[in-house]
Amino acid sequence: MGIRITPSILNSDVSNLRGELDRIATADWAHIDVMDNHFVPNLTWGLPVVEAILPVSPIPLDIHLMIEDPDRWAPAYAEAGAQSVTFHAEAASAPIRLARELRRLGSRSAMALKPTTDLEPFLPVLPELDMLLVMTVEPGFGGQSFIEPMLEKIRRARSVIDERDLDIWIQVDGGIKPETIERAAEAGADTFVAGTAVFRADDPAAAIAHLRELGEAAHARC
């Protein structure tokens, strides 16, 4: 099981997105948080920004849609060329249909769960997914503290995925830094969104390498 580090540009210098993407060129993906000020109480960027940075990004884009009505809007991100598109289970009307549509359009399909959302009702969706995102903070803002009880949700997801022999990444988003990535990796996560831990480091490439090393070491102990 490989470890993937996906820095969130929510914590970057937004006046220089192209330069900020170059600073994280050693990461596996760039995590793009799209917020509409309805599903979450924050407003960031939308499809035009994603379309602008797709051609200049040195790494694939991992789009996290924290928006209402993803059934309507998510396919446009896949059509634009985003390599991975995540919708929220709480917002999707037809998650299986949406996941299939994202795949049809050439994107990896992913579904996110808020901290208070139970995994069990969405187990039937898993075979349609390439990634499951377990939120380890309340979505909407960067710099929050990791919610420890989410480790049990990660363990449950990993158990079900392994039992069913599914090829699904488990991503965690929120409070990921050197002090928390090991616990999340030991619980079964393999893909990590890190914002402040990377973009506020003096050397983002070194921060990415350190996080990857910690995650790989934790997996090796399991």
Structural contact between residues 50 and 32, judged by C-beta atoms closer than 8 angstroms: yes
Residues 78, 80, 81, 82, CA torsion sign = negative
* Cα Rg of the chain (Å, integer): 16
Q: What is the four-CA torsion angle of 116, 148, 36, 84, rounded to 10 degrees? A: -100
130 counts as catalytic? no
Q: Which of 62, 130, 173, 190 is catalytic?
A: 173
Q: Which of 28, 33, 130, 190 is catalytic?
A: 33
CA angle at 75 for the pair 40 and 191, rounded to the nearest 5°? 65
CA distances from residue 111 to 89, 132, 153, 168 in whole angstroms, order as listed: 6, 5, 14, 11
Q: What is the four-CA torsion angle of 44, 46, 52, 53, rounded to 10 degrees? A: 60
167 counts as catalytic? no
Burial of 44 (0-12, 13-18, 19+ CB in 10 A): middle
Query: What are the catalytic residues?
Result: 33, 173
